[in-house]
Amino acid sequence: NEQIGHGVVATRNIPKGTITWVQDKLDREFTSDHVESLGGAYLDILDKYCFRNQQGQWVLCWDHARFVNHSFNSNCLTTAYSFEVAIRDIRAGEEITDDYGYLNIREPFRALDEGAERKIVYPDDLTRYHAIWDEQLRQVWPCIPKTKQPLREFLSREVWRRVGSIAGGREEMGSILECYYEPDDMATARRSNAMENHKP
Is residue 9 in a domain?
no
In a domain, 141, yes or no: yes
**Burial of residue 151 (number of CB atoms within 10 Å: 0-12, 13-18, 19+):** middle
CA-wise closest residue to 31 among 200, 181, 189: 181
- Residue type at 149? Q
- Could you tell me if residue 130 is inside a domain? yes
* Residue numbers of the domain that contains 47: 19-193
pLDDT value at residue 182: 94
- Nearby residues of 148 by Cβ (< 8 Å), 6 or more positions away: 15, 18
Q: Is residue 12 part of a domain?
A: no
Task: Give, as one character, the DSSP assignment of residue 13.
Answer: -
Predicted confidence band at 186 (pLDDT cuts at 50, 70, 90)? low
pLDDT of residue 1: 57
Q: What is the pTM of this model?
A: 0.88
Which residues, other chains included, contact 122 with Cβ-Cβ below 8 Å and sequence gap of 6+?
Answer: 101, 105, 108, 128
The CA distance from 91 to 77, in Å, is: 16
- Tell me if 152 is assigned to some domain: yes
What total number of domains does the chain contain?
A: 1
| CATH classification of the domain holding 56 | 2.170.270
Per residue in 40-83, pLDDT (tens digit) is 999 999 999 999 999 999 999 999 999 999 999 999 999 999 99
pLDDT of residue 14: 99
Note the maximum CA span of the chain. 61
Three-class SS state of 75: coil
Averaged confidence pLDDT in the chain: 91
- Is residue 96 included in any domain, yes or no? yes
Amino acid (1-letter code) at residue 158:
E
Rounded distance between C-alpha atoms, residue 41 and residue 63, angstroms: 21
Is position 66 within any domain? Answer: yes
Are 74 and 98 in contact by the 8 Å Cβ rule? The answer is yes
Q: Is the pLDDT of residue 113 over 50?
A: yes
Residue 198 lies in a domain: no
